[in-house]
Amino acid sequence: MSVIKLKQTVLAVIAVSLFLASGTALADYALNLTEGVTPTSHRVYELHMAILYIVTAIGVVVFGVMGWSIFHHRKSKGAVAHQFHHSTMTEIIWTTVPILILVVIAVPATKTLIFMEQTGDAEMTIKVTGYQWKWKYDYLDEGISFFSALHQDSNEARQMDSGIDPHTIENYLLDVDKPLVLPVETKIRTSN
C-alpha cells in the first residue's frame, strides 16, 4: 500500500470517527419539531414529517446518482463525456418530475393551512405577543391582559456567572411566572 493511500485511509477513519463521536455528544440536542397537543399542532407535525421524508428521499436519490456517476464515469476509467445539445424527452422529464413533487407536497400543505385558518366558530379569542423573555396575553372577549415572564429560577440560571447549573432547573427556559390558562375542549382563535 502506498504512503498516499495509507494517509487517505487514516484520514477517512478519523473523519468517520469524529462524525460518529459528534452524534453521541449531541444526543440530547433535539433537531426535530416537538409534537404539540392540539389537533392543529398534530397536523403541522404530520405535515412536517411527511415533507421531511419526501425531501430526504429526494436527497438520497440525487446524491446517490451523483456519487454513482462520479465513481463510474471518472476520467481514470477512460470515460468520455457524451455530447448532446437538445433532448426533448430529458427536458420533459426534468420539468415534469419537480412539478409532480411540488403538487404532492402542496396538497397536504394546503389542507393543513385551510384547517389552521378555520377559526370562524371559536368560543374565545386570545392575542399573544412575544417579547424578549416574556409574553403578553390579551383575552380579547373578556378584556383581560397580563404579562408572563420567564420563571425566576430559569432567569437566574441563564445569567452569566450565576453559578447555577441549568441542568438542575426543572423545565429550564420553559416555565413562566404566570402561565396562560385555557379551558379544555374549547376552540380558541389566536390573534396577532
* Contacts for 164 with CB less than 8 Å, ≥ 6 apart: 156, 157
Whether 4 is covered by a domain: the verdict is no
The per-residue pLDDT for range 30-82, each reduced to its tens digit, is 677 888 888 888 999 999 999 999 999 999 999 999 999 988 888 888 888 87
* Alpha helices in the chain, H assignment, sequence order: 3-25, 39-72, 88-117, 152-158
Burial-class residue 124 by CB neighbours within 10 Å (0-12, 13-18, 19+). Answer: middle
| Structural domain of 89 | 35-76+84-118
Same domain, 98 and 137: no
Whether 186 is covered by a domain: the verdict is yes
Whether 3 is covered by a domain: the verdict is no
> Which 3 state secondary structure label does DSSP give 73?
coil
The per-residue pLDDT for range 124-162, each reduced to its tens digit, is 889 999 888 789 999 988 889 999 998 888 888 888 888
User: What predicted TM-score, i.e. pTM, was given to this entire model?
Assistant: 0.61
- Residue 140 corresponds to which cell in the numbers above? 380579547
